[in-house]
Amino acid sequence: MRLPFSLFLFSVIVICMTAYAAESSFQNRQIAHDLNRSWIVDGRLTDEAYTLLTAIRADSSILCSKKRYNLEQIDELLQKCFLSDKFESQLNRALNRAFSLYISDRRDGCFDPLEIYGGQVHIDDRVKQSVEEGDNILLQRLEYALRRYETVEADGGWKRVPQISRLLKKGDESVAVRLIRKRLFKSGDLNDSDFSNTFFDETLEEAVKLFQTRHSLKSDGIVGPMTLAAINTPIAQKISLMKLNIERLRWLTGESEDFIVANIPEFTLTLYRENSPKITMKTVVGRRKRPTPMISDMMSYAVLNPYWRAPETIVRDDILPKLKAGKFDYLEKIGVTVSRSMDGNESVDMRSIDWNRFDGGDLPFIFMQKPGPRNYLGFVKFMFPNDLDIYIHDTPESHIFEYEERTMSSGCIRVEKPVELFHALFADEDNNRWSYKQIVKEIIKNREREVGLAEPMPVYILYMTAYADEKGRVHFLPDIYGYDRIMRNYLDNFAGRLEYEKRALFK
C-alpha cells in the first residue's frame, strides 16, 4: 500500500531530523504521480511544501551540492508569489523540480557511477523495479549510523590521544588510558563512562577488541601504533567515508527484502531473507589488476556441475601465453580442452595449432573444462548474466579461504559454502525437491544441470568500505582497489564545476 503524500514527506523529515532512517519510504512510482502536483493552495504554501524544503536542507546524506535544488530561487519566489500568478506558477514548477530531483538523488544517488568508475560498474534496471517500498536495509543502517556520528561531531567529536611510548594492554596503568576510555565511549565501543579510571581492565580490553574488529585490525585488545592511528582518525573523515558509501549504495541497491550481497573489501557474501541475514560465508574476489566490478543485477539460475568456459581476458592473458610457450602438458593436466563449439563436441588437438598466429582477439576456439573435481568453477555456479561475464561460483581450492586478504580471482566471486547457498536458495522451490541429499546425488552424476529460480533475486556486489551491522555498529574496511580514492579525486575535481544533473529529466 502506498503511503499518503503527507506521510511520505513526513518520513523524510523523520530521517533528517530524528535520525530514524528505518522510517524512510521513497517510492519511484510516486515520483511520476507527483511531478505536477500543486504546492500552493489559495495563495499559500502547503504544509507538504514546507516539509519538503525542511527535509532537503536537513538531509546531510546527499553527497552533491544542494545548489542543484535551486533553493535560493525558491526563497526569492516565496517573497514574490503573492504579487502575481506568474510568480506562483514559477514557484510551483521550481518546487516540483526540487522534489523530483531530491527523490531521484535519495533513490539512485546524485552522481553517475559510470562517469566515476567506467566499466567497473554494471547496473540492471530491473533491480530498481521492485514491488516493495522503502530503502534497502543496508542503506537504512548506514544512514542511521551517519546521524549518530554527526551528533557526536556536533558535540565536539573526540579528542586526539597523544602518542604513547609503549604498547598498552590489560593490567597496565597509564594516564593515556583515561583518554582511550573517553574516545571509545564516544564511538560506542565502551559502555563504562568512568573516565577517571587509569587502569587498563578487562572491560577496556573488550572495548579495544570491538574497536579493532570494526576497523579490520588484529583483535588482540592491545593498543599499539595501528590501533592508536585508527583511534585518532578525525570523526569528520569517518563521516565523509560514510557518505561516499551511502552514495554507492544508492546506485546499486533496490528495495527488495530478499537479496544476496557480496561486499568486496570484506570478502563476504550474505543471503538476506525479509531483511535478515540467513547465511554468510567467506569469498575470494578479483586481484587488484583484475578487480571485481560493482554489480547490481538479478540472479535467475544456478548450474550444478558447470562447464568452465574461459572468458576472453583469461584466454588472452593466461591461456594463450602458455600455448605459445608450448606448455600443453600443464593445460592438459588441469583439464583444459579446446573446442570449436560451446558444447565441447567439436574438440581440437591444441598441439596441432600454430598459436603464434593469434594475438588473443576473436579466437575461433572455446577453451573449457568439463565438470569434475578439478573444474575451476567447482560444483556450482550462480548466474546473473551480464556483459562483464561476472558470476558467483564454487572453487576446488578450498584452502584459499584461510587467508585474511583474498584478492585472488580473475574478477568472479568464489564462495566458501556453495552447496549451502544453493540449498538456501532452492530448498523451498520445486516442491522442496532440493534437499542436501538430492543436491549431492545430482553432483555425483557429473552432468551439467541448470536450475532456475522461480523468482529472480537481486544480487548486489558492493564496495562498502564503511557499513553498519545489525547492531548499528559501523565497520571500516581497507580501500583494497583504491575506489574511495578514485571517488574522492572525482569529487575534488567536480567541486568547481557547474551543477551536475545525472540525466536530463527537465529539459
Helical residues (DSSP H) of 164-311, grouped into ranges? 175-186, 202-214, 225-231, 235-252
Of 412, 59, 113, the residue nearest 248 (C-alpha): 113
Is 215 catalytic? The answer is no
Q: What is the DSSP letter of 166?
A: S
Q: Is 431 left (phi over 0), alpha (psi -120 to 50) or beta?
A: left
Active-site choice (33, 412, 423, 475): 412
- Three cell numbers, residue 412: 568472479
**Contact by Cβ (8 Å): 189, 215:** no
Is 393 catalytic? The answer is yes
Measured CA distances, 472 to 128, 211, 280 (Å): 25, 13, 18
Active-site choice (393, 399, 423, 475): 393
Give the Cα separation of 479 and 485 in Å (integer): 8
Return all residues near 235 (Cβ < 8 A) that are at least 6 apart: 149, 152, 153, 157, 158
**Contact by Cβ (8 Å): 436, 380:** no
Q: Which residues of 202-237 are buried (b: 16+ CB within 10 A; e: fewer)?
A: eebbebbbbbbebbbbeeebbbbeebbebbeeebee
Of 17, 283, 252, 41, the residue nearest 147 (C-alpha): 17
Q: Annotated active-site positions, please?
A: 393, 412
